[in-house]
Amino acid sequence: MRKIQNIIAAILFAVVGGFTAILIYTNYIEKPKVVTISEPRAVQYASLPSSPQGVDLTVAAENSVKAVVHIQTEFQQQGYSSSGNPFFDFFFGDPYRQQEPRMQQASGSGVIISSDGYIVTNNHVIERSDKINIILNDNREYEATLIGTDPNTDIALLKVKAEEDLPTIRWGNSDNLQLGEWVLAVGNPFNLTSTVTAGIVSAKARGIGIIGGQLPIESFIQTDAAVNPGNSGGALVNTRGELVGINTAIASRTGSYSGYSFAVPVSIVRKVVDDLKEFGEVQRAILGVSIQNVNAELSKEIGLDKIEGVYVAGVVEDGAAIEAGIKEGDVIISVNNVIVNSVSELQEQISKHRPGDEVDIEIFRKNKKKHLTATLRNMKGGTGIVKNALTVLGAELEEVDQKLKEDLNIGGGLLVTNILDGKLKDAGIKEGFIITHVNKQRVSNVQEIKEVIKMSRGGVLIEGLYKNGEEAYYVFGLE
């Protein structure tokens, strides 16, 4: 009998031990759960109007999808080849030999913001494009003109000529977005046109360090709405179908959506669009400070009761901040009574303004808070509007066509087709001159020459050649 009991005990021990091992193994590997739901369940959200059926997104989706367009671009990519013999390449030519440029295609999304054909998208969607095609939700097609771009916010503005009014999305207010609020991402992922996905606002004023430009501004709306390649430039809308952001990026280790997406808030987009339409350039307002986030250690060191504000690590000589009385070591608490608790939040508030605007800055200094008034500056240090580079140059320019590039053996450039009153005329440049370099930087399109001129200080060096092959250079001052 005892022998039988021992056998049963051994079997039970083995079974329990094996079951325990399975549990440990399962917990360690952590496989995803699969939950089958036989019928839809209504979910109530405290921040949204409740109803027996939950939140209705159908109206917002139907209205917004009509105003989101598919953008298809074409651009030339230069190819290179080697002879295959490194010694031959070293002694008899460049390691790589230039081949004929190849036409490449790319696609993304855009949002119609006015019935007369203005479309906002991301700068990276149309960057380097030779041709931009717009396809509407109803399959109408147009060729778009690039009005202007802002690499600092990754926003671009396009324009199409339509025979009739186009569908639009109403502007919303991204400042009023709440964490947990439902939003829709509308775009064309993987060339799947008119795709709508839903999620919630996961965070605001998020900086992720992906935007280029001289003075990048990042204050993204973070959501968990699924966004994939092709969604860039598309709409982020609230439950009322109002535009609250332009979808720009995803956080991914694979290149496809894996949890979070990021959109430029319309508080920044509207300012950029208005500037591009009115001036052809973004009027960037500069406070003139170097800043950093406040952490627990820094908060204790400077005597703050809580972790808040943005620390001023330095001030620019003759800038707006130092003129207003802001000093190194101050903590900026708010801008025009809007609380700022991170670098990205401060950048967002300043980016809403133009040079010459006065803003109220609340600072913390030596255990006291005080308000100061700062008059914002432009990128050149003044308070005036920065003129469009083409207005300054006084010329009508167009990109050099392929035949002329081949005839002159140049990679690209801008042909002066008409001389007006301006710097080029004063310098002696004639019609038919091809600008290939500005301040030693190669320029192949209007936007590139705008960017170089905008960042120039003092003198400008223009290099190029005429159609007969005669090379020439010209120098002039911007003042």
Would residue 124 show up in a list of annotated catalytic residues for this protein? yes
The tokens 């054909």 sit on which residue? 117
CATH of domain 389-477: 2.30.42.10
The length of the chain is 479
- Which residues face 198 on adjacent strands? 184
Given the residues 232, 261, 344, 444, the one annotated as active site: 232
C-alpha span between 159 and 115 (Å, rounded): 11
Place 14 in a pLDDT band, splitting at 50, 70 and 90: very low
Question: CA-CA distance, 434 to 437, in Å (whole number)?
Answer: 9
Q: Is-catalytic flag, 70?
A: no
Residue that is written with structure tokens 């149309």 in the block:
126
Domain 289-375, what architecture?
A: Roll (2.30)
- What's the pLDDT tens digit per position in 172-183? 999 999 999 999
Residue 252 annotated in active site: no
Mean pLDDT of 230-249: 96
The rounded distance, in Å, linking the Cα atoms of 52 and 205 is 33
Cβ 137 vs Cβ 68: under 8 Å: yes
Q: Classify residue 371 as exposed, middle or buried by CB count within 10 Å of its CB (0-12, 13-18, 19+).
A: exposed
The CATH code for residues 54-281 is 2.40.10.120
- The tokens describing 293, both together, are 């986030």
pLDDT of residue 202: 96
> 10 Å Cβ neighbour count for 181?
17
CA-based end-to-end distance of the chain: 109
Q: Does residue 127 have a pLDDT over 70? A: yes
Using only C-alpha atoms, the chain has a radius of gyration, in whole angstroms, of 29
Per-residue pLDDT of 328-375, as tens digits, reads 999 999 999 999 999 999 999 999 999 999 999 999 999 999 999 999
Torsion sign, CA atoms 223, 227, 230, 235: negative
Closest by Cα among 121, 126, 123, 124 to 109: 121
Instruction: Say which of 129, 150, 154, 194 is annotated catalytic.
Output: 154
User: In CATH terms, are 54-281 and 389-477 the same topology?
Assistant: no
Side-chain half-sphere CA neighbours of 56 within 13 A: 7
Q: What is the mean pLDDT of the chain?
A: 83
Mean pLDDT (whole number) for 314-331: 96
Q: How far apart are CA 284 and CA 151, in angstroms?
A: 12
- The domain limits of the chain are 1-31, 54-281, 289-375, 389-477
pLDDT tens digits for range 255-276: 888 789 999 999 999 999 999 9
CB 261 within 8 A of CB 225: yes
Active-site position among 124, 174, 334, 342: 124
